[in-house]
């Protein structure tokens, strides 16, 4: 794989998709439909998906593609593929809260090795470079040329004063009970895959997710976090989260800076 070309293509497509998403976001009204799994979908999801999937298939025709909005891709078997969530955080989008992202990642051997997370409403762009290192790019963003970037790294953890990030839309009592096992300095909420990126930049230390997610929800953020020195592990046994699972469904998981002393479930 030509990682330099891959990163350039994923980044450009995320920006193109972000433009399409923001055009819908800026409109006075847009339709919201409900899919078979009871999750919402909008024109923005579908337009962004069309842009990204067409671009990836043209650039990398030999690499299998899995994308949330195309159910025909969900029957793929294997551990190496491109995976896309064209609009992660649709509930945040619908409620105009801004914490939604475009997620594109490459999984190799069950591990997300390269990824892009773009939050168009927040004007934040995170990605792994050709070497797999995590960076944040400062805007404004040029689709054809990467601008000024800074390397990002996980925090130097103080287990007596952890910073925890939790979901805005999916936080529940079980999550609060687990967080209570830690000495927490402060908590913040964020939507979509931005939670992984907050750990990658050292803005948070720990993100437990005790709820249903799919691999396209997590792969890009997982890649960025890995590139910053962090990790994502299963909630039950603290083993690394792997990809290419049946139906692309994740178990409960914990994203963290490596200095965090994990508590038992």
217 is in an annotated binding site: yes
> For residue 200, is it within any domain?
yes
Q: Which of 121, 151, 181 finishes a domain?
A: 151
> For residue 202, is it within any domain?
yes
Q: Which of 127, 151, 175 finishes a domain?
A: 151
Query: 105 or 168, which is more confident?
Result: 105
* Same-domain status, 50 and 138: yes
78: left (phi over 0), alpha (psi -120 to 50) or beta: left
236 is in an annotated binding site: no
* Helices 43-59, 3-25: inter-axial angle, 10-degree rounding: 160
Do residues 117 and 84 touch, judged by C-beta distance below 8 A?
no
144 is in an annotated binding site: no
Model confidence at 42: pLDDT above 90: no
98 is in an annotated binding site: no
85 is in an annotated binding site: yes
Q: Please tell me the least confidently modeled range out of 38-52, 207-221, 244-258.
A: 38-52
* Same-domain status, 134 and 212: no
Q: Which of 151, 181, 207 finishes a domain?
A: 151
Total length of the chain: 265
> For residue 246, is it within any domain?
yes
* Same-domain status, 187 and 73: no
Segment 150-180, tens digit of pLDDT: 999 999 999 999 999 988 667 789 999 999 9
> For residue 263, is it within any domain?
no
259 is in an annotated binding site: no
19 is in an annotated binding site: no
Domain of 22?
Answer: 3-151
* Same-domain status, 133 and 36: yes
Kind of pairing between the strands at 32-34 and 149-151? unpaired
Q: What is the pLDDT of residue 169?
A: 67
* Same-domain status, 15 and 138: yes
Total number of domains constituting the chain? 2
Q: Return the CATH number at 179.
A: 3.40.190.80
Q: Return the CATH number at 48.
A: 3.30.540.10
Segment 195-217, tens digit of pLDDT: 999 999 999 999 999 999 999 99
Q: What is the pLDDT of residue 90?
A: 85
Q: Measure the CA–CA gap between 64 and 8, rounded to whole angstroms.
A: 18
* Same-domain status, 219 and 239: yes
**Which segments of the chain does DSSP mark as H helices, in order?**
3-25, 43-59, 90-94, 173-179, 194-200, 215-227
Residue range 141-156: average pLDDT?
A: 97
């Amino acid at each position: 794989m030509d990682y330099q070309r891959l990163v350039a293509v994923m980044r450009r497509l995320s920006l193109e998709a972000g433009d399409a998403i923001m055009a819908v976001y800026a409109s006075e009204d847009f339709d919201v439909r409900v899919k078979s799994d009871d999750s919402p979908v909008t024109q923005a999801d579908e337009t962004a998906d069309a842009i990204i999937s067409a671009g990836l298939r043209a650039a990398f025709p030999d690499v299998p593609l899995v994308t949330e909005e195309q159910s025909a891709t969900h029957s793929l078997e294997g551990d190496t593929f491109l995976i896309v969530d064209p609009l992660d955080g649709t509930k945040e989008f619908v409620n105009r809260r801004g914490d939604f992202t475009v997620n594109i990642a490459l999984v190799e051997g069950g591990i997300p090795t390269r990824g892009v997370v773009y939050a168009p409403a927040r004007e934040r762009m995170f990605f792994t470079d050709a070497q797999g290192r995590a960076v944040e790019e400062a805007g404004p963003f040029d689709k054809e040329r990467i601008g000024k970037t800074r390397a990002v790294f996980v925090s130097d953890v103080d287990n007596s004063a952890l910073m925890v990030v939790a979901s805005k839309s999916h936080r529940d009592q079980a999550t609060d009970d687990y967080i209570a096992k830690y000495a927490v300095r402060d908590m913040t909420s964020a939507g979509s895959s931005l939670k992984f990126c907050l750990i990658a930049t050292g803005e948070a230390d720990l993100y437990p997710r005790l709820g249903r997610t799919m691999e396209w929800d997590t792969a890009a953020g997982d890649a960025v976090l890995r590139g910053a020195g962090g990790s994502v592990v299963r909630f039950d046994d603290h083993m690394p989260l792997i990809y290419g699972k049946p139906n692309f469904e994740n178990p409960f998981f914990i994203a963290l800076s490596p200095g965090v002393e994990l508590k038992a479930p």
